[in-house]
Each structure stands twice: as structure tokens, then as C-alpha cells.
Chain A
Amino acid sequence: MENINAKYVSQKISKTRWKPVSYSSLQQPDVFATGSWDNENNKISIWSIGNNGSSGTDDGFEGDPQLLCEHKHDGDVLDLQFLDQDRIVTASSTGAVTIFRHHQNSQTISVSQQWARAHRYPCDNAPCTGVVCSSPEIVTVGEDGRIIVFRADQEGVNRVIENADSSTIHAVTFLRTTEILTVNSIGQLKMWDFRQQSNSPSQILSLSGDRVPLHCVDRHPNQQHIVATGGQDGMLCVWDVRQGSTPFSLMEAHSAEMWEVHFHPTNPDHLFTCSEDGSLLHWETSSQSEMPSFLQGGRNNSMMSRSAMAPVGGNQSLISAWLSGDSSKGRLETSHMLPSQTLSVNSLDVLGQCLVCGTDGEAIFVNRQIPEDAGVKSDRYTQLCDWWSVGVILYEMVVGQPPFLATTPLETQLKVINWKSTLHVLPQAKLSPEASDLIVKLCRGPEDRLGKNGTDEIKAHPFFGAVDFSSDLRQQAAPYVPTIAHSTDTSNFDPVDPDKLWSSDSDGEDDLNDTLNGWFRNGKHPEHAFYEFTFRRFFDDNGHPYSCPKPIEYEGYDEDEADGEGPAQEEAAAGGSATQGRDLVYV
């Protein structure tokens, strides 16, 4: 508590956000933005807490936030997000969506782009209540029940979903790159899939009966199916969006509206909530996970998302503590972070070891001692994980099935953990020595994984001998170009029957560990095996592929009915590394 300093700022703070820090550096955030509300003249302001040492013995004045610059803002700032390092998107009560640019050299702010009256009624302005960005995309929601998609640097509006909600949408978050989640004033969570053209939600979840308005939502940084919401009654709800339509656990948190909920971005065992009742809560689950180091940490979404399964093998607990349901039994600890409660804490943001929050009492609090990582700092997740994924993809493409194929996600998870004994390059696949060598060199521990010393050591691998990396790969002819007769031509794909995919080998327990042999024995080609593995939504749907696959966007083709996955794969195989810009996330 001693580490939290109050700074009175003469404006009621509605939003606070840390400026993002680059992922690779171990830097702590030191600049944040605030937005005010209910002032005659509202402002957005940029503050610095200086970077003079983060030792715990500071007398509290050293890190006092200093105003760097501010800019007038029309209407209340109802939401505020950093688009990138120096651009900020705000949602205004006038319905406007504005991008501000923070000029670091001169310490000034200017308006760089504005969509006035983006949210509106026929003859009045409608407040824009929430904004979320995934650069360059900006999604906003408002009291008018609209969802609007913008693109930074594009003047017009990308897409509007009119009447997305009959009541007010209070908050929005990205679930995946193409899916968002909104919460509204009648207690519903709605999932929207932008790949679909229809203007109705792909799923609606709600608390049964009570219709308690929800005010905030945050997604678990690693396990995309876990979502936390906070509502008018101050309850914290944790949902598993894959399962059922009601929340997984409900926890009493505050005595009034919960305005914001945030998972710690790199240490999601910690969660923070703030409320109208003037309290700021720190939630901590104690999960004793002993994961292999390469599984730990942030970005490997797919891997972590599987952990909703029951713990297996004794000490290997990958279960998400947030879904374990026994929060009441002392596994969940909460503590108050503010010394006393008076006026509403409207917003909080947490990044690295720093937390900032702003109140209606016109004070900003900064705490610099948030536990950042469950493990040691050096265990941080690095880019090396992507090379593991490349290995897995390569395996899939050249073998025709994923390396850790199993009947249930749980088993796949086990196989991944025990990769040393489960990863085999099968002789039936008749791989070239270069290919199997590359796979083995990529799919291994991070200590000696190829790529550890830079991309060049991968490019130099004999497997890529025929590829000329010196000039622009995109300008070169692809080694294999599939013939596509028309935009809905699916002849390049094997037919898929998702049900048979799993039914064929569920007869015996004994051959579970050797699925491939089992499949060959059944005389069936493991068609479309990569189908489940390559796409993160595999994990998001509990291992069951979509019964009706949605096309991914593929340049040069209209969105068609075809299974869009294939071409991207083949091109990736051909080009070696040309997988950028696709909606693919590798294991």
C-alpha cells in the first residue's frame, strides 16, 4: 500500500491507459494517458512517472506523475486506447471517435483523425461508450446500439452493424482477430464474427434471468476462451465462452458498479477490478503450474487455451485457476489496493509492474510493485516460440497430419509437454532428410532451437537450398500454383467429414498414442488433419472444428464458400515463409 501515491489533478478521470512498451525489452512502462469526464472542458492528458529506479524504498514523491502535455477533448472521454506507441483513440460522449497523436519530440498532442458523430441517433448525438483497437482496426460501440469498424488512416467507415443491440453496449473487446465480444445493459455477452456478413451475433451468453447490466469485459491474455466481466451489482463473472451460455464462476467483488476489469497481461493469475464504490481490488489465484519453460508466458495462445481440462499426471496442472470453480475455497485471494474508499474508481490499467487508476475524487494513483511474472523474469516468452510453430506447420504440411495428433485436446496437450518422447518423424511419410532435420531442429527446447541466433541460420538450412532469399520472395514465381477454376472451386481440397474425423479411432484405448497408425490401419487417409491444428480456433472450440468452416480472407479471391485454409497452406509450403498476413496462428 505504501507504494501507491495519490496525485490530485483537478479533473475527474474517466480513463487511464499505459502507453504500450515494446514487447521484447524488459522495460517498465513510464508514460500513461488519462481522459477526463464531466468537466466543462474535458481533456486528454499524457503523464510520465519518470524512470528513476523502481526500488521499493522510494519516498513516494520521486515517481509522482508529471504532466507532459494535454489536449482539449469535446465531450466526456468515455473510453481511451492506445492504437500504437504514439496514437491514442478516444470515444466521446458526443459520439465522435478521435485519433490523437502524441508527438514525443515536442511533447504535444494533436488530432490526427476524427470521425465526428460516428455514433448518433437520427436527430441527436449518441455517446460512444467503448473502443478497442487492434492496429489498424478500431471497433467502437455506443449507446445507439451500433458497432462500427474503422481503419486508422482510412477516412470512411469500414463496417457498421446497425441495431447490434437493442440496449446500450457498454464495452467491447477482441476475442480473436476477427471476433469481438460486447457486453450490454441487459446482462448479455454477444460474440460477433466479422467474417460473417450477417448483422447478428454468432453467440449470445447471459446470466439467467437477472438482467444485471454488464459494464466491462476483459479477455484472458493467453486463454482466449476465458473472459471476465463486471456488472452493476459489482459481481465478477468469469465465463468460458466455449462452454454453455452462463458464467463459470461468480464472485462477489464490489458493492456497486464494477467499471473495469483487467487481467494482468503477462501474469494472468492476477486480475484487477475497480468500482463505483471507490475500491480497487487485486485478485490472485494460486496456481502451482510447473510447465516446461517453453510453454510458459504470453503469446502462445493455442497452447494455453487447452488448459481448461482437468489437471493430469499429478503435478502438471495447466488448469486455469479462473475456471476451477472453487474460488471460495481459498484458492483466490483478494486485497484492497487503495487505502480508503470514497469516490468511484473509474478506470485502471496494468502493465508490467505498474498499475495506474483514476477516480472521481480527481486523483490518480500509481503503484509500481505489481507482481509481473509467475516465474523468473528470464523465463519470459520470446520470439523463439514462433520457430517451434514453424516446425509444427512444416511437419503438418509435409506429413499430412500434425505432429501431436490425438483424439482429444487433452492428449495433444500431454504429447506437446512430452515432446521428447512423442515427436516422431514417421518413415511412412517418406520425408527428405533435409525436411526431417529441419523439423527436429525447430521442434525442440528453446536452448538449442534453430533460429536462436537469428533468422539467417534457418534460411541457411539445406531445406531452403532452392529458395533465393536475397530478393523479394513475393516477386518470385511460386514452385506450385494450384489451378482454381472459379471462386468457389474446392477441388483442391479433400472432402471433410468432421464427425468421422474423431469417430474412426475412438474404439480402442490402446492405440491412442499411435493415432496415425490407427488411421492408416483403417485404410483412411487422415484427411485434413492440419485443419484442426493450424488454426487457433481449433482450440477455441474445444477441439471440434467448426461444422461450417468460414473462409478466411485470401487476396485475389472474394470471400467464397470454399475451405479457405488450403491455399494458404500450400503457398506457405511453397514459399517457405510466406505466411504473413494470414489468419493463422501456429502451435
Chain B
Amino acid sequence: MKAPAFLRGLVPVGWHEFYVNLRSVRMLIMIIVLALIMVGGAYGIGRGSSAGGPSIAPLVAWVHPAIGTSGEHIAVAWVSDPFGVPLPGATVSFTDLSVQPPAPLGTTSADADGFARLAVGNRSSIGITVRTGNAESGSGVFFDRPVENFTVETRQEALDTDSVPNDLGVHVLGRAGVPVAARLWLNDTYVKDVDSRGYGRLELPLGPSNVTIEVAGENQTRAVFTSKPLPSPFFTIGPDFVLLIMAAGFATFVIPIFAVVVTFDAISKERVQGTLDLLLSRPASRVGTLLGKFLGTFAAVALPVTLVNLAGIAVLTAVSGKGPTGSFALAFLGLSLLLIAFYIPLQLIFSTLAKTSGTAILFGFLVWLAFNILYPVITFVLSSVLFPNSFQAQFQFSQVVGLGNPSSIYTQLVTFAAPEAIRFSFGGGSTLSLTAVASAALVWFVGMLALAMWTFQRKAAE
């Protein structure tokens, strides 16, 4: 099939650009940079956000009052991590809280099973502090009421990945301060026995529940309640929010750099190394040649960017336990391509005009700087000078002025694509209509490509 005359040269030039660029050293460097930022960001922020919610103490002191053989009070501490694994060797300090200032009674180390015990005579308020490394936790033991046949300590936390505080740790000791066989019931249903150190964990249903601890036919029942974590009034931390940070925060900066680095000398290099005349004397139209340059470099950048983005989404899904909203992820992939398509024609214009490699590099850097730093800063300054008293007006002004900036158009489109719940969390949530922003995108892309063709036609050989 023969290409129409005005497009001749598109296919050979396109393939050549794609092939040469994909094999270049700078491509490899940019892929590494992009992967570090996008995949690393997905991992780092994704992990951070999924571990959010109530913080979990690294060690827990389960403290119990106990009675010795001759009737003396014994303060007992069992030291474990939040999941009930004992921490032998933890430092345990006992303090008499009934005097002012509190008087230290002694310090010991938790034994192989994580237990520490101290006979405190007839003292009735004992403070217990446990330490491992830098972590410290404290609690108190009180003998103001008679000690029952067995004592129970509970902690309700969000220990697994569902982010719901429905994990109930239960620790049971006999009156003598040693583990006893105990059966755990949840809402009148037997669940399990505690382990040899007296620990057991139950997963509670949402709403109210009764937890019953049975030791030697004697029961104690605790009423507990499990609620959903309250939704944040502004946004929900989750994979969608992380993807929004990746798209509107990282990609806005790094994808244009990628496009600029690959394209800045697409034409000037041919001129400098002397291959341009040989290319222009071939049976290829100027329009076909320029479009070939565009499509070749676009594909060469789009392919690795899409692969890295997909890897970022995969890593985000893995660390968060669930993926971002499908439509948002797809929009992110597509809008990344749009961002590439914005910057390449712009670079082709400057690459046509640049007579030396140095000028081409300078133009490339300035283009990136102009749209990613200068333009937003100037817009911000102008908006605060023009509308000193209205944040709303400043916001609207910067969005309207932003339609002249490809990076800003991209960010606005990203916020349109983001799920409604998080849309406003990133300075986004355009005050403009989607039609307006999408039209600006179209005008930018088509206008720049047409200008690139015009410049190439006029200036390529001069």
C-alpha cells in the first residue's frame, strides 16, 4: 500500500525513530528514573497509606493482680507484641503508686514465656512499665477489690488488613498469676482455647458482641462493640488516593522530562551530525517526515511509560490489598499518553529551530521549566495579586489561566477522572467544565502539531 503523497516518509521515519530511540542509552536512564519514581512512589505511599488508621503499639503489657500462697499481693506482667507473641527479655519496672512521689519497687526481665512477677506485700496500686529497645508501654495493677479466681485483660485493635478495629486480644491468668486452661466464647458460640501463656485472639463481628471466658466451669462475660472506622470528612486514604498522588503529583513532572529528554534533539541532532540533508533528499514529504518523527518518538516514550505505569498500579494493588478504581486507572494510563503527546510537538518545534546541540538542550530544559515551574508560579503570584481576598476567585483564575499550560490541562483532566470522593483532595476538582478542559487539550495538541509541521516545512533546511 502506497502512502498518499503528502504523507510519504511517515512509515520509514516513524520506524527509524522508534527503533533508534528505544535502543538509546538515555531511554534506559529515563526508564530507570521513571520506574524509581512511579513504582517506588506506589510502593512507598501505598504501604504508608494502608498502614494508616489507629497506630499499633509495638509491645503490649498485659497486667494482672494475683495472690501469693501466703496471701501477699503479686503484680504480674505478661509482655508480648500486639499479636500475642511473647517478648522474653523485655525490661519490666514496678512502681508503688500509692506514695508521692511514686517509689520504684524493682526492675526485672521478662522470662522465656514473657512473664515478670513481683511480690509487693500489701501494696494496692502498682505501676508497671515495660521496655524493649526504644518502645515503652505502661499500665497499672490495682488490688482495691478482691482478686477473682481468674483475671482477664483485653485489647481491641485493627491488627489485620481490613482496617476495622475488630481484633480482640484476650489474656487470662489464674488467681495465682499463672496461665490456666480457658475457653473463649463469642456470642454463646465456642471459638477456641487460650494458648499455654493464656493468650487468645477473636475476630469480632460489627456491632455489639458478648465475649465469654470460661475457666473450670466459671464464666466471665465482657460486652464489646465493633464499629467501622469513621470515614474521613475530606478523603479516604486508599489506592485511589495514592494513584491520584502518582498521577497529579509525580507523573506531571517526570513524564514531560521523559518526553523532553528523548525528543529535544530529534531534528537538531540530524542537522548537527549531518544526516538531515540526506533524509530531506529522500522521496518523503516534509509533513510525512515530521509526523513520522512525532509518531516514532511518541511510541518510543509511550511504550515504556505505559509499562512502568502498569507496574506502578500492580505494586500499588499488591501493597494496598486492593487495586484503584478501574476507570481511574485506565484514565491515568490514557492521560499519561496525552501528556507525552503534548510535549513532543513542542520539542519538535524547538528542535527544528535549534542550530546546535547546546541550544537544543537549553530549549528542552526551558520548555520543561516554563510549564512545570514558571507558569504555575507566575499564575499563583498573579492570582494572589488580582484576588487578594477570595481564595475561590484565585482558584478559578489559576484554572482558567492553566488552560494555556499542557501540564495544568493534564492535572485538571486527572482530577476529572478521579473518583468523586477524592477529587477535591488534590487542589483539583476543576471549576471549569470537562468540555472546556478537553477542548483546551485538543486545541493544544492539534495546534502544537500543526505549528511543528509548519516550522519544519519552513525551517528544516535553512
A interacts with B: no
- Which residue numbers of A lie inside 8 Å of B, CB to CB? none
